Structures are given as C-alpha cells and as structure tokens.
Structure 1
Amino acid sequence: MPPRSNNPRSGRVAIICSNNGSNCLGRSLLLADLLRPQWDASVVGVQTTARPWEPGASFDVPVRSFPIRSAAQLPNAVAWLRKEVQGARVIVCKPKPTSLGLALAAGVRPSQAVLDVDDWDLGFGDAPGSRGELYRRAPYYLKTLLHPGRFNSYLGVRAAFGLIPAFPHRIVSNGWLRRKVGGELLPHVRDSSMFDPAGVDREQRRAALALSARPWVGFIGTIRPHKGIEDLIAALSQLGGVNAPGLLLAGLSAEHVAEERALLAAAQERLGEDRVRFAYKFPFRELPSYLAAPDVICIPSRPGATSAGQIPAKLFDALMMGKPLVISDAHDTSDVDADAAVRFHAGDVSDLAAKLQDLCGSPAHQERLGARARAVALERFDYAAARSVLVPLLERLPPQRG
C-alpha cells in the first residue's frame, strides 16, 4: 500500500468504497487518482475477501481496508470508519449498505458528502424481474437480509437507493442514471497519459498473445451473462473465409472458472481453435497494451436493466486508446459522437456480424474511427474534464468532525 500523502494544498478526501475486495474499488481509485495532484485523496472501506482487488495495485493511491466476514463485525467497522473520515471531505461510492449505510452510521451527514452513483445496482444479481416476482421471492430476500455474511442483499441495496434524495451533492456515471437520480455527470474518465496509443508496443503484445495476421476482435473484461459474449461468438461464427476475424478474450477471472471454461469451449467449437485467444487477469498498468493488440474492440452488451443503467468502463478505455469500437445500443452512449463508434442493435447477432465484417474488412475505416475516438476521449473523458465537475463539489463541503 502506498504511504499516506503529505499533500497540504487542498486537504484530505476520504473515498468510501463498498468493497475493497471487488471491482467496486476501480471507480473509487479513479476518483482518488484524478484528485491526487490537488488533494490528499485515499480510499477507505470494508473488504470481504482475503486481498484487495488485484488490478487496483497499479494505482498510486493509498487504500485502507477493514476486513469483514460477519455482521457481528459491523460495529467495529463503523468505529474504524469514523476515525478514517475525521478531518476529511467525504465521497461515498455506490448507494449500498457497506458504503452509504456505514457512512451514515459513522456520522457522515448527507449534506456534507458527495454521493457517487455509477451503476444501477438494483438491476444486478438477484434483483426481481417484476413486482410479482418480488412478492414471491420475499422469504428469500428476508433470509439474505439476515444472513451474517450477506452485506449487500437486494433489500439492503434497495433501502440504500431510497436514501439517494437525501444527498444534495451527487455525481453519476451516465445520462441514464442522471435521468433516474439526478446529479452532476462524471463519466468513467481516463488518464490520457497512461492510455496513450503512442506509448504502447502493440506488436510485442500481439506476438505474446500469438495473434496472427487475420483481423482480431477483442473483448477485454470479466464475463457476465449481461455482457453478451455469447452473441459476439455467434456473430463471429457467421463470418467465414481464410482471414475470418478471430476472437481475443482478455481479463478473465479465476473466480468464474466453470463459466469461463464453458464459454471458451463454445468459442473454440464454433470458431475453431486457431480463431480464439484468451488471457487471464493482468495488472491494470498493462491494460493499454491489451487494448492495443486487437484490431477492433467489441462491447456486445445485451438489453436489460443491468446494461441500461451501466456504461462499461472499457468503453472509455477503448476510446482513449483510439480503438475502432463496436458497441451495442443497450447503453446510453449519447455523449459519444456517432462517428466515434459503430453501434448495433443489442441482441441482434446478424446486425453485429454485419458491423464486424464491414469494420474488420476496412483498415481505412478503422483508422478514421480510431482517430475520432481518441479526439472525443481527449475532449470529454480525460481527468481534466472530471476535475472540473468534482473539485467544485468538494470545495463546498466542510471536513468531517469527530
């Protein structure tokens, strides 16, 4: 863990993460990282795993965690958090019991904190699909609410979302969430100096991944049902010929071994082993090279509430790296110009196949699209744009007092 910063310029900022052991830490680290030139920013939060989220080790940001396994430890977590935020301005990441709930219990007043809503978490996991399903599953939800190790159950998250209006200072990651809960728009911005295509040895990474001369379509990230990887495989299976595009899956997680093995087996069966490459988790600092390696990046998310309220962080990674990008219309990407990405109708495999065939077959189109993507990212999704939103909010807040 990096040492505490002694930056005296603007004071301390404590960013409360809902779980330092999961990818929730990514957004918290991003906010801390973009504030670090001006503020003494750090991330604090509970941790339900043995180690912090591994990709986060690449950030030069202090992360302090309270390991927790049972609800019996919550009073100690509250006391610990109260000390951590004392004297700091506070950002609460995600309206969840283990971030917003603990913050309130630790004495953080809603009027004296910035609340960050970056996902529609009510659409994830065991969320009911209808009111009738909610009633039918009520016994299950009550059971999970009382489970000593189930801190962010559906009912708990729902209760936390109900508290959002109490926080006058809010930021959201996309326009869909802004229409839902209000607040200032602060997308998943990126550090343009790190995500710089000129600073990456693309050919070295391609060689390490054994990417042949055929065009390669990359999906970078963890595999989840709503992300549409099966649709991407099905679309690529419709494209034939000697130089048919291949599929690169990178960033796979050992936490979902069975699912990923089944997906890889399906990809190899439908595409052939020579058209499939994969790589497991890698340090965050290596992400630019993995993005640079394929010819095209695809974000094939399926339609639904989970996708609608979320803008994948990998969209901004790809834009900043100047990658030709194909993305489904399941997400609100109105801030991304039409000429900076190719869109297809979510869930429509034939439409996706046609868009991939056109783009993979035209290096000139790839070059134009990538150049425009980089220009849009530098204008709207760089750290400087985010600071112009977040810093004025923080300057209105008083530091927390014990």
Structure 2
Amino acid sequence: MNLLTQKSQLKISILVSDLSTSGAGRWGGESVRSFLLAQALIRLGHKVEIVGFVFGQESNITSKADIVVTQVTGYNYPKFFKSATQVLRNLDSDIIYAMRPKSTTFGLAILKRLRTKIPIILDIDDWELSWYGGETWQYRPSLKQLYRDIFKPDGALRYPDHPFYINILESITNKANAITIHTKFLQEKFGGIYVPNGKDTELFNPDKYDPAACRNYFGWSDYRILMFPGAPRPYKGVEDVLTALDILNQPDLKLVIVGGSPYDDYDAQLMEKWGRWIIKLPKSPATEMPKIVAAAHVVVVPQRNTPAALAQFPLKLTDGMAMAKPILATKVGDIPEIVGETAYLVDSGDSEAIATNIQLIFDDLSLANEKGLQARQRCIEKYSISAMSSTLDSIIKSL
C-alpha cells in the first residue's frame, strides 16, 4: 500500500503559470479551471494550495478560508531560476497538480519529482500551441537570431512559456502520473481522463432569484435580453449573434456582454460596429454572476469551429444551464454532448440560423424555459462541482 492510499487527507498543490488578472486571476479566480479543481478537491477532504507566478502585472487573488494562495513574482530567464527555486522550495505536498504543459508548471513539477518522487497530475484545459499555429508551428532560427533570442534582454527564449518550451513539454505529457482534460478534442490529442468543468449549482440556483426583478435592478425591464457572460474573442462568435440582431432589427433585443476582453480592444471594435445592440457590464465577482445571469432571457454560446474553440470548455454554457436559462449555442466541439437535447443548436457562423432561433425562442418562451429547467438538471448530474469531485477521487486513489 502506498503513502497516498494510507492518508485520508492529502496536501495537493495546484501549480499555475499566471495568477495575474489576465490569467487565472481574472474574475478573482472564482470561475477559472484551477479554482474549480481546488473546490472539487476540498469537497473530498483534501488540503489545497494554489501556487503561481505573477509576471509584471497586478493580481487580485487572495487566500481564502479553505484555499491558500501563494504568489511568486515571475521573471524572464535567467532571473526566472530564482523564482522557480522559490516555488520548488515551497512545494511540500503529497501531489502536484500542474496546470497545462508549461515550463512554469509541468516543467517545475517534473524537476520536483526527480528529487522527491511526488506524483504529478497534469491538467490540460487548452491546446497552448493552437495560439501559435498548432501543428504547423516551428522554431528554426538562424544562428544570429538564436543568439538574439537567448542573449538579448528581450530575447524570445527568455520568456519561460515560449512555444519552443511548450512544444517540448507537450511531447512528454505521458511523463505525468495522470492527465485530466475537459474536452474530447484534448482527450484525442493527449489522452487522459475526462473531467469537465463543474459549476457550483448551489451558488447558481435559479430558485434564489426573480428574473424580472433582476432585469429591473439592472435597468433592463424594457428589453429582451440575450447574454454572453464572458470575455468576447473572435473565435467565440459574438459577431455572429450581433449580425443576427441586424437581421431581426428588433430594437428591444439586446446582447449583454459581461466582463469584456482583458486582452485587447476587441470590445471597442464590437461597440463601434454594433453598439446599438450591446449592453456592457464590467467584470463581476463569481458571487454576483448568478444574479446577472438570472436577468437574461437567453444565454448565447456561439463558438466558431476553430482549434482554440474546440480545445475549450465554455464556462458560460454551464452558467446558463445551472440558472435554467434557454441556451442558444453552436454545434462546435463538445457543446452538443454537454447540452444534449436541452438547447437550441445551430451550425457555426450561421447568423441566419441564429436569428431564426432567437425568434423561435421568443415565440414560445414557455417551451424555451422548460428546456432551461432540463438543462439545469443535466448540469447538476454531469457538470457540477460534485460530479467533478467524484471523478477526481477515482484518479487520486489510482495513483
């Protein structure tokens, strides 16, 4: 019998590459994959800490009553070795849970295991190389460029999570003791055990909210509200919904975008072209999101068929499901399997079909709301924090 099976409570360190507000620290971390895993592990009775880097940006993450958060200032190479040493010294856990195959996470976990034999679970919730061209990405510098990338202060290879290092680490993911993924696309690529993102269905409980009162609170009583409760990006298809609103041309229809993009000025581009249809809400803590989603008539998840979208589990989908909202989504990646028969599904990029289904939903809102109730039940059974905990328990016992 190994040590892990002898202990009822384990200390598990979740190693994160970026705890800044543009990384795992966005929205206070509450709805980000690493914190969802932490909640699921705590429900199993384990002690959980989150350890991560902050590279030159602010972070609004703080330790909570049940999760210790340790932030380490990150630097580029060669100063990164100092940051890495600090992290390695603090990893005195029973299991390291490395988030994504990066130097700052999986790479450090492997170094720690070489000295201590601590088992590693690797979580892959995105295909990192997809942001650099995927399988076609190559690093073939000239000798002069290689010298610059290594020795110049702003050299590309001084960045710890440069795709050169990611490419190497993606090729050795089988060195982890276990792998967890959250989409079938990633499972086909890396193997591993399917652990979809869970939702706190007690926090996201529609019985606690009156939708009409919530709309009145936000000043939306005169509108029919479509909601995209996340950060818009081109591959997330928000433009397709806005084009559908152009087609319908019904002034009381509005698209509420919650939080906006922390990466660039994409929000401003959307507002410039489609401002008459958009209502923007600022970033909100997870505890406020149920009230916001309750105010929606429909939650839209219009993902486009791209590698970036295929690799991701859209959390906004389970926001709507948990709050028993009608869901209008595209047939991309795992979405059809996640929602089953409880949503309105259209082909990716088909604004005409999106417009038709928006009209269909509002023509029979009672039927749409019934589908929403079915979606909540499906979320509780398959995509809750409790469902996550059950799968993780089996993984840990198998180590």
Tell me the TM-score range normalised by the shorter chain. 0.7 to 0.9
Partner of residue 64, structure 1: 70
Partner of residue 24, structure 2: 24
Whether 1:298 aligns to 2:300 is yes
Distance (Å, rounded) in 1 between the aligned partners of 2:52 and 2:39: 16
| Structure 2 contact 75–83 (Cα < 8 Å) conserved | no
| Structure 2 contact 123–180 (Cα < 8 Å) conserved | yes
- Correspondent of 1:252 among 260, 279, 282: 260
Partner of residue 397, structure 2: 395
Q: Which moved more, 1:201-210 or 1:28-37?
A: 201-210
Whether 1:324 aligns to 2:326 is yes
| Equivalent position SS for 1:340 | coil
| Structure 2 contact 96–109 (Cα < 8 Å) conserved | no
| Structure 1 contact 218–294 (Cα < 8 Å) conserved | yes
- Letter of the 2:326 partner, please give it: P
Whether 1:116 aligns to 2:118 is no
Partner of residue 400, structure 1: none
| Structure 1 contact 12–40 (Cα < 8 Å) conserved | yes
- Letter of the 1:80 partner, please give it: Q
| Structure 1 contact 29–59 (Cα < 8 Å) conserved | no
Partner of residue 3, structure 2: none
Distance (Å, rounded) in 1 between the aligned partners of 2:63 and 2:205: 20
Provide closer, same or farther for how the CA distance between residues 237 and 138 of structure 1 changes in structure 2, counting only shifts above 3 A: farther
| Structure 1 contact 58–285 (Cα < 8 Å) conserved | no
Which deviations, in whole Å up to 9, do the C-alpha atoms of 1:264-289 show, x marking residues without a partner? 12112xxx3xx431111111211111
Partner of residue 128, structure 1: 133
| Structure 1 contact 33–59 (Cα < 8 Å) conserved | no
* Shift, 1:144, TM fit: 6.5
Distance (Å, rounded) in 1 between the aligned partners of 2:49 and 2:320: 26
Distance (Å, rounded) in 1 between the aligned partners of 2:371 and 2:385: 22
- Correspondent of 1:157 among 162, 166, 176: 166
Which deviations, in whole Å up to 9, do the C-alpha atoms of 1:327-347 show, x marking residues without a partner? 112222253243211111111
Whether 1:174 aligns to 2:183 is yes
Give structure 1 stretches of 5+ with no counterpart: 1-7, 398-402
TM score, norm. by length of structure 2: 0.86
Give structure 2 stretches of 5+ with no counterpart: 1-6, 26-31
| Equivalent position SS for 2:289 | helix
Distance (Å, rounded) in 2 between the aligned partners of 1:328 and 1:356: 13
Distance (Å, rounded) in 1 between the aligned partners of 2:82 and 2:113: 14
| Equivalent position SS for 1:78 | helix
Provide closer, same or farther for how the CA distance between residues 209 and 156 of structure 1 changes in structure 2, counting only shifts above 3 A: farther
Provide closer, same or farther for how the CA distance between residues 129 and 171 of structure 1 changes in structure 2, counting only shifts above 3 A: closer
Whether 1:190 aligns to 2:195 is no
- Letter of the 1:24 partner, please give it: A
| Equivalent position SS for 1:385 | helix
Provide closer, same or farther for how the CA distance between residues 68 and 206 of structure 1 changes in structure 2, counting only shifts above 3 A: same
- Correspondent of 2:47 among 40, 43, 49: 40
| Structure 2 contact 48–66 (Cα < 8 Å) conserved | no
- Letter of the 1:290 partner, please give it: I
Partner of residue 51, structure 1: 58
Following superposition of structure 1 onto structure 2, how do residues 335-346 of structure 1 map, counting pairs within 5 Å? Answer: 335-346=337-348
Which deviations, in whole Å up to 9, do the C-alpha atoms of 1:84-107 show, x marking residues without a partner? 221331111111121111222334
- Correspondent of 2:291 among 289, 295, 301: 289
- Letter of the 1:259 partner, please give it: Y
Which deviations, in whole Å up to 9, do the C-alpha atoms of 1:189-208 show, x marking residues without a partner? 11111111112353443234
Runs of at least 4 residues off by over 4 Å: 56-60, 108-111, 133-146
| Structure 1 contact 219–250 (Cα < 8 Å) conserved | yes
Following superposition of structure 1 onto structure 2, how do residues 235-384 of structure 1 map, counting pairs within 5 Å? Answer: 235-241=244-250, 243=252, 245-253=253-261, 255-256=263-264, 258-268=265-275, 272=276, 275-384=277-386
Provide closer, same or farther for how the CA distance between residues 254 and 23 of structure 1 changes in structure 2, counting only shifts above 3 A: closer
| Equivalent position SS for 1:218 | strand
| Equivalent position SS for 1:50 | coil
- Letter of the 2:24 partner, please give it: C
Which deviations, in whole Å up to 9, do the C-alpha atoms of 1:234-262 show, x marking residues without a partner? 1111113464x211111114553x32122
- Letter of the 1:317 partner, please give it: D
| Equivalent position SS for 1:66 | strand
Distance (Å, rounded) in 2 between the aligned partners of 1:191 and 1:366: 23
Distance (Å, rounded) in 2 between the aligned partners of 1:154 and 1:162: 12
Provide closer, same or farther for how the CA distance between residues 53 and 304 of structure 1 changes in structure 2, counting only shifts above 3 A: farther
Provide closer, same or farther for how the CA distance between residues 110 and 336 of structure 1 changes in structure 2, counting only shifts above 3 A: farther
| Structure 2 contact 227–296 (Cα < 8 Å) conserved | yes
* Shift, 1:49, TM fit: 4.1
Provide closer, same or farther for how the CA distance between residues 173 and 139 of structure 1 changes in structure 2, counting only shifts above 3 A: farther
RMSD after superposition: 2.8
Partner of residue 92, structure 1: 98
| Structure 1 contact 79–106 (Cα < 8 Å) conserved | no
* Shift, 1:373, TM fit: 0.5
Identity of aligned residues (%): 23
